[in-house]
Copies of this chain bind each other. A is one copy, B any other.
Amino acid sequence: MEKLNNTLLYTIDKCFRSYHQFAQKNVKQAGYEITIDQWLILKSIHENPDFSQNDIGKILFKDNASITRIIQLLVKAGYLNRKEHPEDRRRVQLSLTPKGIKITEEVHLIALENRANALKDVNPEHLQELKQMLDQIIKNCTE
């Protein structure tokens, strides 16, 4: 049987895990009490103030149930406001609190450092190719 470490899923999996752990550790060490997943949700709302939970789920590739629960924690932590959407009562309208904006932007700086460190000695010309290949794989897996 073919060896584990030859399979692509294995390498992507490991890369994702190591990067995620690395990023989370650095956020924590900088003194922030937030998970990467929570931050990604805040960031997506910050960039797209009209987003529904559904929209967030789509761009982050998360299940709606996960979004619901993470958002509950973000509201509880004082980073996010939830209210009924004025035009569609099925939806909720999300907005960052000042505290939420602050942590989103501050953690973003750490995220930039993380990326720079993670990409050390990676040929920047190849980076675009890397992204294209990953996007092609995403496309193949979701069509």
Contact = CB atoms under 8 A, between A and B. Distances in A.
Interface of A: 1-5, 7-23, 36, 40, 43-44, 46-47, 59-62, 104-105, 108, 111-112, 114-115, 117-123, 126-127, 129-131, 133-138, 140-142
A49 to B, nearest CB: 13
Contacts of A131: 8, 11
A19 B140 CA distance: 9
B114 A9 contact: yes
Contacts of A47: 1, 3-4
Contacts of A138: 11, 14-15, 18-19
A47 to B, nearest CB: 6
